[in-house]
Amino acid sequence: MTEEMLDQLRHACWFLHGSFSGIALPYARYSERQYATWLMRIFDQHDRFDIALHMQAHPTVKQQELVEPERFKFKDDGVFPNSDLPLLLYRQAFSTEAEDGASVIEQSFAENNWTNSWRNGVYPFRHYHSTTHEVLGVYSGSATLRLGGENGKNVEVHAGDVIVIPAGVAHQNIGARDDFGVVGAYPDGREWDLLRGQPGERPEADQRIAALPIPDNDPIYGAEGPLRQIWKAARGR
Taking Cα atoms as reference points, which of 99, 89, 186 lies closest to residue 138?
A: 89
Q: Is the dihedral of CA 235, 183, 61, 54 positive or negative?
A: positive
Does the pLDDT value for residue 27 go beyond 90?
no
- Percentage of the chain exceeding pLDDT 90: 69
Cβ atoms 90, 67 nearer than 8 A: yes
Per residue in 217-231, pLDDT tens?
A: 999 999 999 999 999
Does the pLDDT value for residue 209 go beyond 50?
yes
Does the pLDDT value for residue 98 go beyond 60?
yes
Taking Cα atoms as reference points, which of 93, 105, 27, 98 lies closest to residue 63?
A: 93
Q: What is the mean pLDDT of residues 74-103?
A: 94
Q: What is the mean pLDDT of residues 140-160?
A: 97
Per-residue pLDDT at 202: 94
Domains of the chain, with CATH numbers? 3-57 (no CATH), 70-234 (2.60.120.10)
Lowest mean pLDDT among 54-58, 89-93, 111-115: 54-58
SS (H, E, C) 17-55: HCCECCECCCCCCCCHHHHHHHHHHHHHHCCHHHHHHHH
- Percentage of the chain exceeding pLDDT 70: 73
Does the pLDDT value for residue 120 go beyond 90?
yes
For residue 141, what are the CA distances in angstroms to 47, 92, 154, 215?
41, 13, 17, 28
